[in-house]
Every structure is written in C-alpha cells, then in structure tokens.
Amino acid sequence: MRVTLFDYGAGNLHSLAKALEGEGRTVRIEPDPRAALDTDVLVLPGVGAFGAAAARLAPAREAMRAAILGGLPTIGICLGMQLLFDGSDEGAGAGLGVLAGRVTQLRAQRTPQIGWNALEDARDPLFAASGLRTAYYANRYVCRPVDPSCVIAWSTHETDRFAAAVRVARCVGVQFHPEKSSAPGLRFLHEFLREAAAPRATTPPTDR
C-alpha cells in the first residue's frame, strides 16, 4: 500500500509519517498536489494555515476533489479536515468542497483549544475498533457542516459543540490529531489504513 502525505510546505510531517508506517506500507511526503494523487491512500496533514494550504492545492483542486469523491481513501487531520470544506474564516482561498460548509473560529473565550477532549456520539466503526474515546486537539478553528449527517463524532469546547470527525465516501476528516492521541489514536490511524486496504467499490460522484 502506498500512503502519501500532501505537503503544504508548512512544517515537519515526519512524526505523522512514522505513525502511518507499518508492514506492507510505504509512506512518502509529496509537495506536488497532482503527484500526490498517484497513491493508494491520501493524507491531508494538520500542519499549516488554511490560506497557504489552499493555495498549494489550487492547481489540482478539481482533480483532488474528484478523486476523493470517486473513492480514493483519504484522511484529513485538523487543517486537513478543514480543507475538505468550502472555505475558512482563517484565510482566503477555496477548500476542496468535498463537504458543504465553512470553517469558523471556536465560539469560546479560551482559544486555541490545546489538549485532550472527549469524543461524543462517536458512531463510526473506527472508534469502536480503536477504542478512541478522548483525543488530542490543537486548534482555533472548527468545521461547520451544512448537513450534520456527515458528522461521525462531536466534541465540546466550553459551550461550543463542533464536528470532531466527518466521513464522506471513503474519506474521513478528524479535527483532532490521532498521531498525538496515544495508543488509541495510533490504532485509529491503523484501522483506517486497514479499511482502506479493502477492495475499492465503485463510488459514484455526488453533486458536491
């Protein structure tokens, strides 16, 4: 299995790459958004700012969106999850538009949210298989989906309840950092990769 981290050029991705390693997997870091699509699994990492990351993916925005909606196994982490949406108050530029909605700042007095937070209503098999019940966050912005049916887990910071994880097609987005969420977080990543290794069914594109 080829696992590719799309590099926005914003930081060190080697800890995430190491967390994704395993028998039968090769992990690479790729700064070219088109070349990043030549893979079995695409990872949108959580390092960087929305505007700069959107600019880096812009040349392949439509191709990446089509690949994800067409069934390419993809996981977006923190900023990577936010890039799955239409846009962000953090910066200019278009997201992938895989999911309808916008990224806004946490409605809380204490921001950014840094540290552990509980996962609520976690209803995806990935959570059951990994035992992930609390996760590590480092975020000031969160996703506001138009259709909350895509949300597979929630968290609450102060009084703001926000989407902790979403899923569409074979794509999962998580606002937390599984690679920093102890052993259950690593199991969550490996369960996603195990699921991604299953034979790919044909997934028709959606209106999004």
Residue 201 resides in a domain: no
Residue 24 resides in a domain: yes
Residue 202 resides in a domain: no
Task: Give alpha helix (H) positions in the chain.
Answer: 14-20, 50-57, 61-69, 79-82, 125-130, 182-196
User: pLDDT tens across 156-165, in order?
Assistant: 999 999 999 9
Residue 207 resides in a domain: no
**What residues are paired with 136 via a beta bridge?**
116
- CATH number for the domain harbouring residue 29: 3.40.50.880
User: pLDDT tens across 134-153, in order?
Assistant: 999 999 999 999 999 999 99
| Catalytic annotation present for 78 | yes
Catalytic hit among 150, 171, 179, 191: 179
Residue 203 resides in a domain: no
Q: Give me the mean pLDDT over the 79-94 stretch.
A: 97
| Catalytic annotation present for 179 | yes
pTM of the full predicted structure? 0.94
Distances (CA, A) of 168 to 60, 98, 205: 20, 8, 11
| Catalytic annotation present for 157 | no
Catalytic hit among 78, 143, 150, 171: 78
Residue 187 resides in a domain: yes
Task: List the domain range (segments joined by +) for residue 90.
Answer: 2-196
Residue 204 resides in a domain: no
Residue 143 resides in a domain: yes
Catalytic hit among 150, 157, 177, 191: 177
Number of domains in the chain: 1
